[in-house]
Amino acid sequence: MKMGEHIQLQRVIGYFHGTIFLFSIIIGAGIFIAPKGVLKYSLLNVGVSLSIWTACALVSVVAALSHAELGTTFPRSGAQYYFLKRSFGPFIAFFYLWIHLFSTPAGIAARVLLLAGYITQPFYPGCFVPEVPKKCLALAILLCLGILNARGVKEVTWFQTVSTVVKITVLCFISLTGIVLLVRGKKENLARFEKAFDAEVPDASQIAEAFLQGLYSYSGWGVLVRIAGELKNPGENIPKCVITALTLVALIYLLVNISYLAVLTPKEIMSSDAVAVTWIDRIIPSMQWAISIGVSSSIVSSLNCTLFSASRIYFVASQEGQLPLILSTLNIHSCPVVAVIQILIFASILIIPSDLITLINYVGFTDWILLGLMMTGLIKLRFQEPNLSRPYKVHLPFVFGTLAMSLFLVLTPIIKSPKMHHIYVIVFVLSGLLFYFPFVHFNLGSTYFNKITCFLQLLLNVSPADDLTTGIIHEESFDDLVNDY
């Protein structure tokens, strides 16, 4: 990269590709492999289970529309982080960042291990996949995703479009097959729906757990707010993309679950680790390859979208001075490649342990804590800065409803059935103080970090973005650092 050449994040994602991004990150492996979580906490009550899937869709739409105001009011990448810093100050914003620094790589590591195991299993029929080849394949997949992201937004959107078309095709096949089976009206296909609500009804704690399971399948709807700095006309496109994508996802999810129940009994679903595979074995055993392609494309596209959007959070946090400056540099393809590399390094380290699910459980419910915090900040800004430009303004009942749901999902399990991992999460969050005060508040070691920044800029051929307003390495200071180094 030539000295004096300026780059910045490009607004190249329109309505169509924004909707594709939402599809990509929301529709992951869950709907193919583990829809039994809702059924489990619904006590195998089919009617309650389907009702919770419908309610989860409504909750997700309301929460996503409320959340969308963040990206339209502050149309920049990593808008959630910037919003929390403006609403509550740098201390709360750092805790949001601290959680994502570990939860995002952990989630990526768990999903890439799942994908690697799914790909390698056919080579080891009738036995467990050895850990070494599975983890080597997982590392190779991460490397490929990193190279793809480093190539820029256009290549990422092209890949997301192709992979999304593949998995939507597979889901539509499952949905239409279920509809055909129900229309034909065979007794065994209709049996589960004739007395759907006759089973035991779950209590409030179990309903909250079932909601968390269902809402996990809808997670990721905030991706457009993360990448708002690369969206065309975010004030208009973010709400439109949210409504379009979540409406279609909700319809597909409901039809897929109905299709599963039309073929399998609730007990059969509970005993299956891969519901979609069990379903296709019962219908067309020779079509297992289609489910394999659907699962693989879902995991890969969701991983890619997560990596793409999470790097933007670290990018803006670096701009705001809470992460090393090198993370806010861009390569010639306008990609924050150093932030991408950091996520991949963390995820690669977390691939080494064998049990990542426990780690994810420790930080999983913090998403709804953070969402409740954002809704509180949104209400706070409405009254503190009523004249702030808001191209899209959500109705306040939606915001209060999202806040109430957040409190319900977080507090109900803690009150009804407290567990040790709740304490672990609190300890983990508070441990961020050990890093916040010395490195952010008192800015210790800044000279040392500057020299490292200079070296990495030269090594990776990256430079600060044009839109940096604080903490920029200008050409003069860059020359000084080069001379010092």
Pick the closest to residue 319 from 438, 457, 451, 464 (CA basis).
Answer: 464
Rounded to two decimals, the pTM is 0.83
In the prediction, which pLDDT does 427 show? Answer: 80
Copy the structure tokens of residue 398.
Answer: 């939606």
In the prediction, which pLDDT does 484 show? Answer: 44
Rounded distance, CA 135 to CA 121, Å?
A: 13
Higher pLDDT, 200 or 55: 55
Checking if the pLDDT of 188 tops 70, the result is: no
Checking if the pLDDT of 216 tops 90, the result is: no
Q: What is the pLDDT of residues 62-100, one digit of tens each?
A: 999 999 999 999 998 889 998 999 899 898 899 889 888
Residue 9, domain member (yes or no): no
Higher pLDDT, 206 or 477: 206
Host domain of residue 227? 15-484
Percent of the chain with pLDDT over 90: 32
In the prediction, which pLDDT does 134 show? Answer: 87
Residue 2, domain member (yes or no): no
Checking if the pLDDT of 38 tops 80, the result is: yes
In the prediction, which pLDDT does 280 show? Answer: 87
Copy the structure tokens of residue 403.
Answer: 């806040």
In the prediction, which pLDDT does 441 show? Answer: 76
In the prediction, which pLDDT does 478 show? Answer: 36
Rounded distance, CA 186 to CA 189, Å?
A: 5
Residue 3, domain member (yes or no): no
Model confidence at 4, pLDDT cuts 50, 70, 90, reads: very low
In the prediction, which pLDDT does 469 show? Answer: 41
Lowest mean pLDDT among 41-50, 104-113, 199-208, 275-284: 199-208
Average pLDDT of every residue of the chain: 83
In the prediction, which pLDDT does 472 show? Answer: 32
Residue 10, domain member (yes or no): no
Checking if the pLDDT of 166 tops 70, the result is: yes
Residue 110, domain member (yes or no): yes
Residue 255, domain member (yes or no): yes
Q: How many domains does the chain have?
A: 1
Q: What is the pLDDT of residues 285-299, one digit of tens each?
A: 888 788 888 888 888
Checking if the pLDDT of 193 tops 80, the result is: no
Segment 190-203 shows an average pLDDT of 72
Rounded distance, CA 270 to CA 288, Å?
A: 20
Residue 7, domain member (yes or no): no
Rounded distance, CA 173 to CA 177, Å?
A: 6
Q: What angle do CA 313, 314, 315 make, to 5 degrees?
A: 90
Cβ distance 22 to 157 under 8 Å?
no
Copy the structure tokens of residue 350.
Answer: 């977390």
Model confidence at 380, pLDDT cuts 50, 70, 90, reads: very high
Checking if the pLDDT of 274 tops 70, the result is: yes
Cβ distance 140 to 221 under 8 Å?
no
Cβ distance 445 to 108 under 8 Å?
no
Cβ partners under 8 Å of residue 257, min gap 6: 35, 49, 50, 53
Lowest mean pLDDT among 7-16, 47-56, 181-190, 250-259: 181-190
In the prediction, which pLDDT does 218 show? Answer: 87
Segment 236-257 shows an average pLDDT of 93
Segment 31-42 shows an average pLDDT of 81
Higher pLDDT, 4 or 74: 74
Q: What is the pLDDT of residues 300-317, one digit of tens each?
A: 998 999 999 999 999 999
Pick the closest to residue 246 from 262, 230, 223, 212 (CA basis).
Answer: 223
User: Which amino acid is present at 473?
Assistant: I
In the prediction, which pLDDT does 189 show? Answer: 64
Rounded distance, CA 210 to CA 205, Å?
A: 9
Residue 5, domain member (yes or no): no
Q: What is the pLDDT of residues 250-273, one digit of tens each?
A: 999 999 999 998 888 888 888 876
Q: At 22, which CATH number?
A: 1.20.1740.10
3-state secondary structure 389-437: CCCCCCCHHHHHHHHHHHHHHHHHHHHHCCCHHHHHHHHHHHCCHHHHH
Pick the closest to residue 364 from 215, 241, 232, 263 (CA basis).
Answer: 215
Lowest mean pLDDT among 33-37, 219-223, 452-456: 33-37
CB atoms within 10 A of CB 431: 11
